[in-house]
């Protein structure tokens, strides 16, 4: 078995994704298997996903988190490579798996990143605008900054590499597990090959949900800054917060609930500059790092 497609699932129906992958496997008969692991979803999603054919399906009795569930695939996968896909990804190429296999055959790379494109949405949708402006990069940029652009939505890793450098399970909630994983690879001189083989990120979330997930990500960053600072010292948001916390006026401004609510209202409308989002995140992080412990907040969507 050359390739194991690994799909961690939380509160999402993955029938369409598995069907698209299985169609290519049944047509071209590559050495590929599909594995779905449910990370403690609500029963209605488990019921739907249990009906899916052409894959091996496993359920965890409780949610273990975004990093731990990915590591568990080492115990399920038979392939030499593990191809991780987020459950809200959509295959947009008829040769998606074949393109991965061809890249593997050419050079046996340690890690391949296929990239993604956002599902088209309204111009005032924050998730869509954030992807376009901050996460989608031309290949020239990706080749120069392979660790910076890496996301967990669509990548393959050689099994022996993943056994040595897996996801850090201290990151249980949403945010920065991809950054820390890429940082670990970089520190150990593990190359990430850039492959033009994107999936569609079909997460059409509201501005409210996007802000809730962003808040959870900032909390994760604050937690890592306290428990594992070596992982996140290079995060621009954290460096800005650490610099500005020494300036008394800015933390005071960000602690003002009227100001925070004003910024949030602008963001919920959706057509404000993303610099307002940067400001909102910076203010939240400043408040969090000034406390000895990071209070738990909403997890947002764990997909």
Report the range out of 96-100, 131-135, 248-252 with the highest average pLDDT: 96-100
Could you tell me the maximum CA-CA distance found in the chain, to the nearest angstrom? 64
Separation of CA 92 from chain center: 19
170 vs 172: CA distance, rounded Å = 6
Tell me: pLDDT of 248 over 70.
Answer: no
**CB of 263 within 8 A of CB of 280?**
yes
pLDDT over threshold 60, residue 17: yes
Check if the beta carbon of residue 203 is closer than 8 Å to that of residue 158: no
State the residue for tokens 């590499």. Answer: 161
pLDDT at 272: 87
Q: Where are the domains of the chain?
A: 3-201, 207-289
Distance in angstroms (rounded) separating the CA atoms of residues 205 and 103: 33
Which spans in 82-235 are helix H? Answer: 96-107, 126-130, 139-144, 159-164, 177-187, 207-227, 229-232
- Residues 112-125: pLDDT tens digits? 999 999 987 777 88
Q: Which two tokens stand for residue 45?
A: 């999603």
Taking the CA atoms of residue 278, residue 283, residue 289 and residue 290 in that order, the dihedral angle to the nearest 10 degrees is 160
Distance in angstroms (rounded) separating the CA atoms of residues 193 and 287: 38
Mean pLDDT over 158-170 rounds to 95
- Which pair of structure tokens corresponds to residue 131? 């992807």
Q: Residue 291: what pLDDT?
A: 65
**Residue 163 pLDDT > 90:** yes
pTM reported for the whole predicted model: 0.91
Report pLDDT for 124: 84
What is the band of 172 on the pLDDT scale with cuts at 50, 70, 90? confident
Q: Read off the pLDDT band of 171 (50, 70, 90).
A: confident
Query: Would you list the DSSP string of 34-98?
Result: EEEEE-S--HHHHHHHTT--SSEEEE-SS---HHHHHHHGGGT--SSEEEEE-TTEEE--TTHHH
**Position 8 pLDDT exceeds 90:** yes
Q: What pLDDT is stored for residue 301 in this prediction?
A: 47
pLDDT more than 70, % of the chain: 93
Per-residue pLDDT tens over the stretch 83-118: 999 999 999 999 999 999 999 999 999 999 999 999
Whether pLDDT at 150 is above 90:
yes
Please count the residues of the chain. 303
The pLDDT, as a whole number, for residue 298 is 45
Average pLDDT of the residues of the chain: 90
| CATH 3.90.550.10 fits domain 3-201 | yes
Of 135-144, 208-217, 261-270, which gets the smallest average pLDDT? Answer: 261-270
Instruction: Output the CA torsion 62→4→168→293 (10° steps).
Output: -40
Average pLDDT over residues 261-288: 89
For tokens 């599909």, name the residue: 34
Q: Per-residue pLDDT for 29 more than 90? A: no
Minimal CA–CA distance to 149: which of 189, 102, 181?
A: 181
Task: Provide the 3-class DSSP secondary structure of residue 262.
Answer: helix
- Specify the pLDDT at position 302: 52
């Amino acid at each position: 078995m050359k390739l194991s497609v690994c799909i961690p699932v939380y509160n999402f129906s993955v029938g369409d994704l598995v069907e698209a992958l299985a169609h290519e496997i049944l047509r071209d008969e590559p050495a590929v298997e599909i594995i779905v692991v449910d990370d403690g979803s609500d029963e209605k999603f488990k019921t739907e996903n249990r009906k899916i054919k052409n894959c091996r399906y496993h359920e965890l009795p409780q949610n273990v988190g975004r990093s731990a569930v990915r590591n568990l695939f080492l115990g399920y996968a038979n392939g030499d490579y593990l191809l991780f896909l987020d459950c809200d990804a959509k295959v947009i190429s008829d040769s998606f798996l074949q393109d991965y296999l061809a890249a593997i055959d050419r050079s046996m790379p340690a890690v391949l990143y296929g990239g993604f494109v956002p599902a088209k949405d309204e111009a005032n949708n924050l998730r869509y605008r954030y992807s376009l402006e901050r996460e989608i990069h031309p290949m020239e940029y990706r080749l120069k900054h392979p660790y910076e652009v890496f996301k967990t939505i669509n990548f393959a890793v050689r099994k022996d590499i993943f056994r040595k450098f897996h996801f850090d399970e201290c990151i249980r909630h949403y945010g920065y597990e991809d950054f820390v994983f890429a940082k670990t690879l970089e520190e150990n001189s593990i190359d990430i090959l850039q492959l033009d083989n994107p999936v569609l990120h079909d997460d059409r979330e509201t501005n409210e949900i996007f802000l809730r997930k962003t808040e959870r990500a900032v909390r994760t960053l604050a937690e890592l800054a306290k428990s594992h600072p070596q992982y996140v010292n290079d995060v621009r948001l954290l460096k800005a917060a650490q610099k500005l916390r020494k300036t008394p006026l800015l933390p005071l401004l960000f602690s003002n609930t009227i100001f925070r609510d004003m910024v949030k209202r602008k963001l919920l409308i959706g057509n404000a500059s993303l610099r307002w989002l940067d400001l909102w995140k910076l203010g939240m992080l400043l408040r969090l790092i000034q406390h000895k412990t990071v209070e738990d907040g909403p997890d947002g969507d764990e997909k």
